[in-house]
Amino acid sequence: MKVVIVGGVAAGPKAASKIIRMRPDTDVTVVEKGLFLSYAGCGLPYYVSGEIKEQKELMETPAGVVRDAAFFLNVKNLKVRNRTEALEIDRIAKRLRIRELATGNESWLPYDKLVLATGASPVIPPLPGVNKKNVFTLHGVHDAEGIKSALAMQKAKDVVIIGGGLIGVEATEALATHGCRVTIVEMLPQILSMMDRDIARLVENYMESKGVRVMTATKAVALESRNGQEEFVSHVRTDEGDLPADMVILAIGVRPNTVLAQKAGLAISEKTRAIRVDEHMRTSDPDIYAAGDCVESTDRLTGLPCFVPLGSTANKQGRVAAINICGGDESFPGILGSTICKVFDYCVARTGMTEQTAASLGYDAITALVPGGDKAHYMPDSKILLMKIVADRKTGRLLGVQVAGPGEGAKRIDVAATAITAGMTLDQVAHLDLCYAPPYASAMDNLITAANVARNKRDGIMLGISADDVQRKIRNGEDFLSLDVRSPQEYATVRLPNSTLIPLGALRRRLTEIPKGKEIITFCAVSLRGYEAALILKAAGFADVKVLDGGMAMWPFEKETGQKMQGHSVP
């Protein structure tokens, strides 16, 4: 059997390796337009920052062997033709026309099965000046080298990143590590559009505390030059004014590479513009498979088509395609969009639906915002993790989880992804038998606590109110009591505007100070004491009592709300 694979970065090499393992007698050829094979594209920001010292580390196996053409031939018995472009698929004759970029020579490769792993390309906006020499994406090794070169020569002190998605956010730390003044320009109202706004703004707030300027709801208009150096950008013109720029990084997102598939008449999704495949990774031609960033996926929760390009997905899809090419019966069930990134010392991650998505699909979503330590609070290295949980009020089914903060978020998101895949409810998640030891987790893990808070809200035991809703009340001049039940020391350090302090330990004996006919919103640092206070007030006959979701840890910061915090900033 002859198998030709177009694409040599993620899905392609995975499919090729699995085919050889299953059918060692298969004649497999990998065609790759670029020079580098099977490199870790997700590691590029850390190569730019210097955390990864050498380029070759991005292309090495765990044993330290570089995955080049010789490696694939000697170890895998795969023929790799890099610096070779795939031009045309002749589906009738079952052959692929290729061109060697070094010589320009063209030839045909016959195949029994063809795999398209053509990946995706960065979106280049139609801005004037976008082709200037100090404008980069961060999509390949070539761009990473260009950025590193500019940083090494100290030519990039002011850097503008256009786009506040994963790529832009991950690139920020790498640039800040080199002492750059970084500005993110994002056209949408928030960065990280795959997160809900209340979590995304916490990340934005944290980035600004690290010296990064974040400009949301701002549109880049042109990349302009001054002082006669027309080849280089000197500033970025936006609808909010000009930004100095020694370097510009375009991080708007990626589009699937489908030209080869389209020319061959393969089915392309109208919604995602990616190659349409079935659960076996077959295209509309049964002898042509596709995998990785060029294909459309299916959302496991909704069953709807989606496009979420990730290296993890590409590798899994490549393996599924290989098994089916070799006569197996393997299905790729879809994705939950599980995503994680490092933002300075913050872990930012999500899986499943956001609250916004759930609402748009008609769910009556119940949410809980729960900050808490990732380990027992008395452990010296315990760090806060800010968690949001989303569930269906009607069925109790867990729909999504998001985290942000310096605490350990990866394992919570992985557990959540498993629970969502299994169709678990809040009640089931609340009783998961998770590991506990003080150096690793609290007795009640963050995810379990979040599920319990959501259950309390569902069952009417706790009535929560979001920081956004409290802000709206303040703006509208509504009459309510903002009751802070922290200690006087905490209150003196930082407090919400126009709040009243009654520490939790003193609340029962000071109930007469609280007007019964007024709406009361209780809170503390994370609203655990706020919840206790609400229970005390309700037991004493106060009718309209709410708890600020997530407490002060989830309070919006000054730039977005216009509401100044009294005292110092909330950490």
CATH number at residue 516: 3.40.250.10
Write phi, then psi, for 276 (nearest 5 degrees).
-85, 130
Distance CA 207, CA 183 (A): 10
* Residue 114: pLDDT band with limits 50, 70, 90: very high
Tell me what percent of the residues of the chain surpass a pLDDT of 90.
81
Least confident of 54-63, 115-124, 336-345, 521-530: 54-63
User: Is residue 66 helix, strand or coil?
Assistant: strand
6 and 116 belong to one structural domain: yes
Q: Which of 399, 169, 137 is nearest to 248 (CA)?
A: 137
Domain end among 222, 252, 282: 252
**DSSP secondary-structure letter at 268?**
B
Distance CA 547, CA 534 (A): 7
Neighbours of 475 (CB within 10 A): 11
450 and 471 belong to one structural domain: no
Q: What is the mean pLDDT of residues 414-433?
A: 98
Verify whether residue 347 is a known catalytic residue.
Answer: no
Least confident of 6-20, 47-61, 157-171, 242-256: 47-61
Domain at 414, CATH number: 3.50.50.60
100 and 154 belong to one structural domain: no
260 and 115 belong to one structural domain: yes
Mean of the per-residue pLDDT values of the chain? 93
- Quick: pLDDT tens for 394-403: 999 999 999 9
Cβ contact 288:309 at 8 Å = no
Cβ contact 327:334 at 8 Å = no
Higher per-residue confidence, 564 vs 283: 283
Q: What is the mean pLDDT of residues 113-127?
A: 96
**DSSP secondary-structure letter at 565?**
P
Domain end among 210, 236, 252: 252
* Residue 63: pLDDT band with limits 50, 70, 90: confident
Q: What is the mean pLDDT of residues 445-462?
A: 96
User: Is residue 58 helix, strand or coil?
Assistant: helix
Is the pLDDT at 4 greater than 50, yes or no? Answer: yes
260 and 116 belong to one structural domain: yes
Q: Has residue 339 been placed in a domain?
A: no
State the DSSP H helix or E strand holding residue 35, giving kind and residue range, or none if neither.
none
Cβ contact 37:9 at 8 Å = yes
Neighbour-count burial of 182, counting CB atoms closer than 10 A to its CB (0-12 exposed, 13-18 middle, 19+ buried): buried
387 and 355 belong to one structural domain: yes
Domain end among 325, 354, 377: 325
State the DSSP H helix or E strand holding residue 290, giving kind and residue range, or none if neither.
strand 288-290
* Range from 138-147, 175-184, 222-231, 316-325 that averages highest in pLDDT: 316-325
Q: What is the mean pLDDT of residues 463-481?
A: 93
Is the pLDDT at 369 greater than 60, yes or no? Answer: yes
Provide the phi-psi class of 456: left if phi over 0, else alpha when psi is between -120 and 50, else beta: alpha
235 and 259 belong to one structural domain: no
304 and 158 belong to one structural domain: no
Q: Which of 42, 306, 341, 347 is catalytic?
A: 42
Q: Has residue 130 been placed in a domain?
A: no
Q: Has residue 332 been placed in a domain?
A: no
531 and 385 belong to one structural domain: no
* Residue 501: pLDDT band with limits 50, 70, 90: very high
Q: Has residue 549 been placed in a domain?
A: yes
Provide the phi-psi class of 336: left if phi over 0, else alpha when psi is between -120 and 50, else beta: alpha
Is the pLDDT at 77 greater than 90, yes or no? Answer: no
Residue with tokens 């916004």: 356
- Quick: pLDDT tens for 301-329: 999 999 999 999 999 999 999 999 999 99
Burial string for 265-304 (b: 16+ CB within 10 Å, else e) reads ebebbeebebbbbeebbbbbbeebbbbbbbbbbbbbbeee
Neighbours of 205 (CB within 10 A): 19
Q: What is the mean pLDDT of residues 86-107?
A: 97
Q: Has residue 375 been placed in a domain?
A: yes
Is the pLDDT at 570 greater than 60, yes or no? Answer: no
**β partners of residue 346:** 343
Distances, alpha carbon 272 to alpha carbons 164, 306, 352, in Å: 20, 6, 18
Distances, alpha carbon 502 to alpha carbons 47, 101, 487, 522, 547, in Å: 51, 74, 8, 10, 15
141 and 286 belong to one structural domain: no
Q: Has residue 28 been placed in a domain?
A: yes
Distance CA 46, CA 33 (A): 24
At 463 the pLDDT is 95
Q: Has residue 447 been placed in a domain?
A: yes
Q: Has residue 129 been placed in a domain?
A: no
Amino acid present at 352: G
163 and 246 belong to one structural domain: yes
* Residue 497: pLDDT band with limits 50, 70, 90: confident
Distance CA 518, CA 497 (A): 18
Cβ contact 178:154 at 8 Å = no
Find the radius of gyration of the CA atoms of the chain: 27
* Residue 557: pLDDT band with limits 50, 70, 90: low
Amino acid present at 367: T
* Residue 52: pLDDT band with limits 50, 70, 90: confident
Print the domain residue range for 302: 2-40+48-120+255-325
Give the predicted TM-score (pTM) of the model: 0.92
How many structural domains comprise the chain? 4
150 and 95 belong to one structural domain: no
At 564 the pLDDT is 44
Is the pLDDT at 568 greater than 70, yes or no? Answer: no
Distance CA 38, CA 476 (A): 56
For residue 504, how far is the Cα from the chain centroid?
A: 38
At 72 the pLDDT is 82
